[in-house]
Structure 1
Amino acid sequence: MKIGIVCPYSWDVPGGVQFHIRDLAEHLIGRGHEVSVLAPADDDTPLPPYVVSAGRAVPVPYNGSVARLNFGILSAARVRRWLHDGSFDVIHIHEPSSPSLGLLTCWAAQGPMVATFHTSNPRSKAMIAAYALLQHALEKISARIAVSEYARRTLVEHLGGDAVVIPNGVDVDFFAKAEPQAAWQSELTRGTTAGDGPAAGGTIGFIGRIDEPRKGLPVLMRALPKILAERPGTRLLVAGRGDRKEALENLPRQMHARVEFLGMVSDEDKARLLRSVDLYVAPNTGGESFGIILVEAMSAGAPVLASDLDAFAQVLDHGQAGELFANEDADALAAAAVRLLGDEARRAELRRRGSAHVRRFDWSTVGADILAVYETVADGAASVAADERTTGLRARLGLD
């Protein structure tokens, strides 16, 4: 099958949607399909052979963050050329309602189209106002996918219609088989202490953009002094782009040495980090429709502690595969982290439950579900085309 996938966000700025599209494309290519991804990208960005650049993106405030999007006359021309050259059996558009390549593709494309909705937002006046502009384009979509029940709810409330829920995918074995990094491990992981002494520590991991408040690092930083008061040997590893000075400005100076900033890490190092920590904390405060990092952490065998966002609760099987704390409550985060770091049996239980639960998010399952949607809309389009040819032939023969 020839599959065209449209990425709305800049390929050179990592994010959950880009990772999902990358992994989906590589999974489909591995299954023998021909895949082309159209994405915004700077001219000097190294791209995989299956990615076609639609030109440079511009930063736009979107969904509580800053997204790098691509829109305009030049972008529209590149979309049309990509569609013409691709002759795709099915086109898969991600976030078609965002002001980027997906919406341009909806306007320009003909034939079977699938759309995936990632965003989870409260109903907004801006979205209601934009509906008239979006309606014609969205009516051309043959099938809709939402990555979670909360993304589906956003779609229903904002735009009408419905969607099948297919979660984001993860290569579970990639994370499960990663080698831990000794420098990131604590005495708990190495088994040199029972973990319940007054000086015992443990390693907490956080991965996310430091300068994006909704990722929740400020909440974790507010919790850290109380964690260190109970477990002074605790270390926090922070991976992600942003200003470390800004992150540390409200933390007492004598505690700065307990925080290590790793900057941007490769996929391999992310997997090693998640395999090395005693506890992964996701303190995100909102704007999340899924929580791919939770799936990655569970795949690596890390016990997970996350804010009780609806989407996070669903990914963590409502507290069965990972623990939850009250959103934005630094005291609740600290209390839960101290308890978990001191309870080896509970952490082992979360590892077992998380490792079992996460298999439903593996690409072997998710990819097959997405491919089934492709085949359904492609077969439906072929059937409609055949009916139209038959009707036309009967009319020309005077049989109707």
Structure 2
Amino acid sequence: MSYNNGFRIAATGLSWPSLQAGGLNTYFKSICEQLATEHNTLDALICSDEQPQVRDRIRIHAIGSKQQSIWKRKELMQKYAAELFDKQPVDVLYSHFAPYGVGPALEAKKRGIPVVTTFHGPWTEEMKIEGQGFKHLLKTTMAKSIEMKAYRLADQFIVLSETFRDILHEHYKVPLSKIHIIPGAANVDRFHPAEDQAAVRKRLNLPQHATIVLTVRRLVNRMGLLQLLEAWRRVTERHPDHLLLIGGRGPLMEELAFKVAEYNLQNHVRLLGYVSDEELPLYHQASNVFVVPTQALEGFGLITVEAMASGLPVLATPVGGNKEILRGFRPGLLFQGTDSEAIAQGLLRVLDHPELLPNAKECRDHVLSKYTWGHVAEQVEDVFRQVLDRKAAAK
């Protein structure tokens, strides 16, 4: 069966990164933009009160509100998808977030539309890590039932790493034959090395001659920022002129600020808060090293390839996709473990001997060879062809 005229795609996601920061939303926006070409049409369904600015050829449908209960949002998504599917032809439903994807998937199945789901991680397990108590247990139990229902409706799955393939297979009992590993990517036009690092540092009010280590994360426990701060105490004993930048927002902000004061790191750490889309590439360009101290459930590591596309060497804990990205490039950039001691040792090893680090061209070339959105879209379209070919053969 030929699809020379392209695909008519309906995609369901959480939100858009300009409205709600996060790796899932960055991935969703990036792949939607890459798939929305002169051949493909794409309707993206998100939960939002606002309508984000988007490129031509993408139609955003902002449905519901974050102020509503998740059950209400789920119901509205299903109702809207049913109306959309009846109004216009859709070849494939491309789902990215189980709670908002389950209703549209039910409607797709009623109409014979195949469902391809990208598994961004065990939503329930992430929730468990960040809370406790009976109410939280009840919430996570209900979340797990939504996940299981959504995944039962999928014809094929895309995961971003071997780690998430194994979780999807072992925890959710999805057959390996249904799972395709397609790594994530970086926007290489947006993330690139600085032409004039001094000018970028001046613009961001950063010291010209310091070695700057950057991380940008959601401020939650599993991201390892408390362990990083503890490690940074040791780094500053040997390198008092080095500066750590932590970008992001989340429930850990107050505790991080307290730890910075407790460890007497006020002159060695800056908590940047939310870093805008406009400023994010600039902070990469201003820095010397990027660090990813994740403790658990790192599905791929979009931030890792974005940093490398900017010419930054990345040091990371051996968790999830980061392990897969770096072991094929420079295994020595992986810390030996996830605790503060392992992070401190890894940082000191390269900060004491910067000649061990790959240069900007080597970092960027690795991304260009494997991790561009063009590569990703080609592979995603191939999965679409497979499900549509199976549908045609079954008739």
TM class by shorter chain equals 0.7 to 0.9
AA matched with 1:343? H
Which residue of structure 2 aligns with residue 53 of structure 1?
62
> Does the 8 A contact of 1:70 with 1:101 survive in 2?
no
Contact 2:102–2:146 under 8 Å retained in 1: no
Change (3 A) 1:214 1:235: same
2:47 corresponds to which of 4, 29, 40? 40
Deviations 1:179-220 (A, max 9, x none): 5422366556xxxxxxxxxxxx5111010123x111121111
Please tell me whether residue 104 in structure 1 is matched to residue 123 in structure 2.
no
State the AA in 2 paired with 1:182.
R
Aligned to 1:198: none
For the 8 Å contact 1:214–1:286, the answer to whether it is kept is yes
> 1:205 touches 1:280 (CA, 8 Å); kept in 2?
yes
C-alpha distance after superposition, 1:109-150 (max 9, x if no partner)? 132221111115879999999888777764543322111111
Q: Which moved more, 1:16-25 or 1:79-88?
A: 79-88
2:257 to 243, 248, 251: 248
Partner deviation per Cα, 1:237-261 (whole Å, 9 max, x = no partner): 1211246543121234642132223
Instruction: Tell me what 1:150 maps to.
Output: 163
**In the alignment, is residue 5 of structure 1 matched against residue 11 of structure 2?**
yes
Map of 1:23 onto structure 2: 30
Q: Sort the Cα spacing of 1:28 and 1:134 in 2 relative to 1 into closer, same or farther, 3 A.
A: closer
Q: CA deviation at 1:34?
A: 1.1
The residue that corresponds to 2:191 in the other structure is 175
Tell me which amino acid in the other structure corresponds to 1:239: G
- From the superposition, tell whether residues 130 and 112 of structure 1 become closer, same or farther in structure 2 (CA, over 3 Å): same
153-162 or 114-123, which moves further after superposition?
114-123
Unaligned runs of 5+ in 2: 1-6, 129-136
1:292 deviation in Å?
A: 0.9
Change (3 A) 1:303 1:322: farther
**Residue 85 of structure 1 aligns with which residue?**
87
Q: Aligned pair in 2 of structure 1 residues 59, 303: CA closer, same or farther (>3 Å)?
A: farther
Decide which moves more: 5-14 or 287-296. 5-14
- Residue 277 (structure 1) aligned with residue 290 (structure 2): no
Secondary structure at 2:186 match in 1: coil
Cα shift at 1:55: 0.8
Change (3 A) 1:259 1:46: same
Could you list the runs of 5+ residues in structure 1 that have no partner in the other structure? Answer: 61-67, 189-200, 389-400
One-letter identity of the residue aligned with 2:190: F
State the 1:294 CA deviation. 0.6
Residue range with higher mean Cα deviation, 260-269 or 300-309: 260-269
Distance 1:130 1:240, change over 3 A: closer
Deviations 1:256-308 (CA, angstroms, capped at 9, x unpaired) = 13222322223332112112211111111112111111111111111111112
TM-score by length of 2: 0.80
Task: Judge conservation of contact 1:308–1:326 (CA < 8 Å) in 2.
Answer: yes
- Label 1:381 to 1:283 Cα distance change in 2 as closer, same or farther (>3 A): same
Pair 145,226 (structure 1): closer, same or farther in 2 beyond 3 Å: same
Structure 1's 266 and 134: CA in aligned 2 closer, same or farther, altered over 3 A? closer
1:325 pairs with 2:325: no
Q: Which amino acid aligns with 1:85?
A: K
Q: Are residue 355 (structure 1) and residue 368 (structure 2) matched?
A: no
Offset of residue 101 of structure 1:
1.4
Kindly indicate whether the alpha-carbon contact (under 8 Å) linking 1:28 and 1:367 is maintained by their aligned counterparts in 2: yes
Q: Distance in 2 between matches of 1:323 and 1:51?
A: 39
Query: Which residue of structure 2 aligns with residue 166 of structure 1?
Result: 182
8 Å contact kept, 1:205–1:238: yes
Rounded Cα–Cα distance in structure 1 between residues aligned with 2:150 and 2:121:
18
Q: Is the 8 A contact 1:208 1:240 kept in 2?
A: yes
Say if 1:47 and 1:159 are closer, same or farther in 2 by CA, change over 3 A: farther
String of CA shifts for 1:140-177, please: whole Å, max 9, x gaps.
Answer: 43322111111111111123212010111222232125
- The separation in 2 between residues aligned to 1:133 and 1:329, in whole angstroms, is 33
Sequence identity of aligned pairs in percent? 24
Query: Aligned ranges for residues 293-304 of structure 1 at < 5 Å?
Result: 293-304=303-314
Tell me the TM-score normalized by structure 1.
0.79
Please say which structure displays the higher CA radius of gyration: 1
Query: What is the rounded CA distance, in whole Å, between the counterparts of 1:45 and 1:258 in structure 2?
Result: 39
Structure 1 position 222, deviation (Å): 0.9
Number of aligned residues:
360
Amino acid corresponding to residue 96 of structure 2 in structure 1: H
| Maintained 8 Å contact 2:297/2:320 | no
Deviations 1:66-96 (A, max 9, x none): xx8864433321221233234211111124x
Offset, 1:229: 0.8
The equivalent residue for 1:193 is none
